[in-house]
A and B are shown apart, each in its own frame.
Chain A
Amino acid sequence: MGNKQTVFTHEQLEAYQDNPFRQRIAQVFSEDGDGHMTLDNFLDMFSVMSEMAPRDLKAYYAFKIYDFNNDDYICVWDLEQTVTQLTRGELSAEEVSLVCEKVLDEADGDHDGRLSLEDFQNMILRAPDFLSTFHIRI
Chain B
Amino acid sequence: MSQSLAFVLNVPETPQDPEDQEPSPYDESEVHDSFHQLIQEQSRWVAEEGLELQQRVPGAGALGASGSDRQALLGPEGAPVYSTATLRILASMPSRTIGRSRGAILSQYYSRTVRLRRRAGRPQLRDVGRSARPSLRLYDLELDPAVLEEDEKRGLLVKELQGLTVAQRDHMLRGMPLSLSEKRCLREESRPPRGKRRARGHRGLLSCCSQLRDSCILASHNLGLALLSGLQALMPWHYALKRIGGQFGSSVLSYFLFLKTLLAFNTLLLLPLLAFIVGVQAAFPPAPSGSVPAFRGLELLTGGGRFTHTVMYYGYYSNATLNQPCASPRDGGQCTPEAGGLPYNMPLAYLFTVGVAFFITCITLVYSMSRSFGESYRVGSTSGVHAITVFCSWDYKVTQKWATRLQHDNIRTQLKELLAEGQLRHRPPRACGRLWQAAVLGLVWLLCLGTTLVCALAVYSFSELVLQQSRVSAERDGALLALPLVVCLLNLGAPYLFRVLAALERHDSPVLEVYVAICRNLILKMVILGILCYHWLGRRVGTLKDQCWEDFVGQELYRLMVMDFIFTLLDTLLGELVWRLISEKRSQRKGKPEFDIAGNVLELIYGQTLTWLGVLFSPLLPAMQIIKLLFVFYVKKTSLMANCQAPRRPWKASHMSTVFISLLCFPSFLGAAIFLCYAIWQVKPSSICGPFRTLDTMYEAGKVWVRHLEEAGPRVSWLPWIHRYLVESAFPIYLASALLLAVIYLNIQVVKGQRKVICLLKEQLSNEGEDKIFLINKLQRIYERKERSRVGRTEEAVTPPAVFTDDWDAQ
Contact = CB atoms under 8 A, between A and B. Distances in A.
A79 B58 CA distance: 12
Given A87-B412, A103-B390, A113-B64, A126 B378 contact: yes
B397 A18 contact: no
B387 A133 contact: no
A40 B180 contact: yes
Interface stretch (B241-249, B598-606, B731-739, B785-793): B241-249
Nearest to B183: A47
23 contacts: A2-B399, A18-B400, A18-B404, A43-B180, A44-B179, A56-B175, A61-B177, A69-B34, A76-B59, A76-B61, A86-B393, A86-B412, A91-B416, A106-B387, A107-B384, A112-B772, A113-B62, A126-B383, A127-B384, A129-B388, A134-B396, A135-B396, A136-B397
A127 B100 contact: no
B175 A128 contact: no
Interface in A35-64: 40-41, 43-44, 47, 49, 52-54, 56-57, 60-64
Contacts of A109: 762, 765-766, 769
Contact of A18 (B95, B378, B401): B401
B393 A133 contact: yes
A107 B769 contact: no
A97 to B, nearest CB: 9
Contacts of A57: 174-177
B394 interface: yes
Contacts of B411: 86-87
A72 B96 contact: yes
Interface in A96-117: 98-99, 101-103, 106-107, 109-114, 116-117
Contacts of A54: 171, 174-175
A102 B422 contact: yes
Nearest to B761: A109
Nearest to A77: B59
Nearest to A137: B242
Interface stretch (B284-292, B612-620, B650-658, B800-808): B650-658
Contacts of B67: 111, 113
A113 B393 CA distance: 23
A128 B377 CA distance: 7
Interface in B375-413: 375-378, 380-381, 383-388, 390-397, 399-401, 404-405, 408, 411-412
Most chain A Cβ neighbours within 10 Å, of B70, B171, B242, B408: B408
Given A69-B58, A123-B388, A132-B654, A113 B65 contact: yes
Contact of B773 (A112, A128, A129): A112
Nearest to A138: B242
B392 A136 contact: no
Contacts of A61: 177
A76 B62 contact: yes
Contact of A127 (B99, B388, B768): B388
B63 A128 contact: no
A116 B766 CA distance: 13
B32 A66 contact: no
B397 A137 contact: yes
B408 A2 contact: no
A82 B390 contact: yes
Interface string B562-582: 000000000000000000000
A128 B177 contact: no
Given A72-B99, A86-B408, A128 B393 contact: no
A83 B177 CA distance: 26
A83 B419 contact: no
Nearest to A29: B179
Given A20-B394, A127-B388, 8 more contacts: A60-B177, A72-B32, A83-B415, A86-B408, A99-B390, A109-B766, A113-B67, A137-B241
B400 A15 contact: yes
A16 B250 CA distance: 18
Contacts of B250: 129, 132-133
Contacts of A71: 32, 34
A112 B63 contact: yes
- Which 10 pairs show the lowest CB-CB distances between chains A and B? A110-B769, A77-B59, A128-B376, A18-B404, A102-B386, A87-B412, A107-B387, A128-B654, A106-B384, A127-B392
B98 interface: yes
Given A87-B412, A110-B769, A98 B179 contact: no
Contacts of B171: 54
A124 B242 contact: no
Contacts of B58: 69, 77
Contacts of B765: 109-110
A129 B383 CA distance: 14
A138 B98 CA distance: 31
Interface string B650-686: 0011110000000000000000000000000000000
Looking at chain B, what size class is its interface with the partner chain?
A: 35 or more
Contact of B380 (A18, A66, A126): A126
Interface string B49-84: 000000001111111111100101000000000000
A17 to B, nearest CB: 8
Contacts of B24: none
Given A40-B181, A57-B177, A69-B58, A126 B243 contact: no
B392 to A, nearest CB: 4
Contacts of B653: 129, 132
A80 to B, nearest CB: 7
Contacts of B59: 75-77, 80
B770 interface: yes
A34 interface: no
A117 B419 contact: no
Nearest to A33: B33
Contacts of A52: 174
A101 to B, nearest CB: 6
Interface string B248-272: 0010000000000000000000000
A5 B17 CA distance: 62
A63, A113, A125 pick with most chain B CB within 10 angstroms: A113
A14 interface: yes
Contact of B384 (A2, A98, A126): A126
Nearest to B377: A128
Given A2-B399, A18-B404, A124 B392 contact: yes
Contacts of B388: 123, 126-127, 129
B401 A15 contact: yes
A16 B422 contact: no
Contacts of B64: 113
A79 B180 contact: no
Nearest to B393: A133
A110 B70 CA distance: 10
Interface string B408-446: 100110011011001000000000000000000000000
A18 B397 CA distance: 11
A66 B396 CA distance: 14
Contacts of A19: 396, 404
Nearest to B100: A72
A101 B195 CA distance: 60
A98 B420 CA distance: 11
A122 to B, nearest CB: 9
A126 B181 CA distance: 31
A115 to B, nearest CB: 8
A1 B61 CA distance: 43
A19 to B, nearest CB: 7
Given A14-B401, A111-B770, A87 B63 contact: no
B457 to A, nearest CB: 42
